[in-house]
Amino acid sequence: MEFVALIVKSAFRNRLRALLTAVGVAIAIVSFLFLRTIVSAWNAGAENAAADRMVVRNRISIIFPLPLSYLDKVKRVPGVTDVSWANWFGGMYKDQRNFFAKFAVDAPTYLSIYPEMTLSPEEKQAWMGDRMGAVVGAKLAEKYGWKVGDQIAIAGDIYPGDWKFTVRGVYHSTSKAFDERTMYFHWKYLNETVTEGRKDQLGVLLIRIGPGVPSAQVASAIDKQFENSVAETRTETEKAFQMAFLSMVSAVLVAIQIVSIVVLFILVLILANTMAMATRERTTEYAVLRAIGFSPRHVVMMVVGEGLVIGALGAALGVALTPPLVEVVGRGLEASLGNFLDLQGLALGPVAAAVAVAIGGGMLASAVPAWRAGRLRLVDALRKVD
């Protein structure tokens, strides 16, 4: 224990340099964890997607609709237990900065397909009974100060016109895969209001398959039905469908991951530079320790231990400072990017990796200076003049 106390005191002999090094390590840790949290947030929906849900869309692109007549044919496919549908609505609330997702859905079947979307019985009944009713996510309602009974005016773009909705419920989600920053309203209201040429069109079909039913088999059966039709289909799992959206920003996500790894490399360089300076300055001190009975092994352990102490201190500071940063900066990004970013806090894996690199990096960065200190010849070291 006395030797451990000596290592700690030795690490902070030059307090300013030790603290600045620890702060540098902490900044590197914070940067790494924040970047990894952003990547995890982008992938959260896909990683938590339900295995028994699938999406049927137009094979050309999701922006092309499917005929309503496809609904009954999909229902009859073996293995399909539930079917619903949804149309991306678009539109603008007040101004273009107020972006959030809006979907026209078949309310009864949609709630069946997505049981994680929870409403009180009163809210559910009110929504079902109001043709112009809508439900909004809890986070979306909090952002705009909406409550049940409020009216929302949307300026249509995909579906031109001035659309008005009444908030009939504020839903909560029991799953990370289902967002609380979305508005849903009745597809029938949309279908009754649009021009004749746009009636009876579906954006996507949402299906649930039975337990143990192979999703690939169901996808093949559905797509085969509509081969060589006016609107061929592409059926995929919910996870694959969400990953298709992520692929649009895949280059950005890869770049973020590369930068996060570079940050850890910089962390090791910071520690290596500090330990090299400290060891070089204390050559005479190590010689004195050898002269009073310390073995080369003790000197090596002392230098490596100093790197461990500084690395551990920096890691502790970094891990402590990251949650407030994610809360302040991350929530701002989350508010701006809406459904595409869902911050869920720090994951254990990146935290463990960052701490391991900080501590291991501190010891590794001390290895060469420690080896040199352990090989010092007493006569040469004692002759050194600072």
* Span 278-320, pLDDT tens digits: 666 666 666 666 666 666 676 677 777 777 788 888 888 888 8
Structural domain includes residue 51: no
**Local structure of residue 198 (DSSP, 8 states):** G
> Which residue type sits at 327?
E
* Shared-domain flag, residues 80 and 190: yes
d(C-alpha 383, C-alpha 206), whole Å: 81
* Shared-domain flag, residues 15 and 100: no
* Shared-domain flag, residues 188 and 337: no
Structural domain includes residue 227: yes
| Number of structural domains found in the chain | 2
* Shared-domain flag, residues 181 and 314: no
* Shared-domain flag, residues 71 and 218: yes
d(C-alpha 112, C-alpha 128), whole Å: 13
Question: pTM for the complete prediction?
Answer: 0.66
* Span 196-254, pLDDT tens digits: 888 999 999 999 999 989 999 999 999 999 998 989 999 998 887 776 665 555 566 67
Phi-psi region of 211 (alpha: psi -120 to 50; beta: other; left: phi over 0): beta
* Span 90-145, pLDDT tens digits: 999 988 888 889 999 999 999 999 999 999 999 999 999 999 999 999 989 998 99
Pairing of strands 133-137, 161-173: parallel
* Shared-domain flag, residues 263 and 335: yes
CB 226 within 8 A of CB 49: no
Bigger pLDDT: 199 vs 326: 199
d(C-alpha 294, C-alpha 286), whole Å: 9
* Shared-domain flag, residues 159 and 278: no
* 3-state SS assignment for residue 131: coil
Owning domain of residue 213: 60-231
Structural domain includes residue 55: no
**Closest by Cα among 322, 303, 38 to 311:** 303
Banded model confidence at residue 323, pLDDT cuts 50, 70, 90 = confident
Structural domain includes residue 52: no
* Shared-domain flag, residues 92 and 22: no
pLDDT at residue 385, rounded to an integer: 47
Banded model confidence at residue 35, pLDDT cuts 50, 70, 90 = confident
* Shared-domain flag, residues 266 and 350: yes
Structural domain includes residue 203: yes
* Shared-domain flag, residues 87 and 210: yes
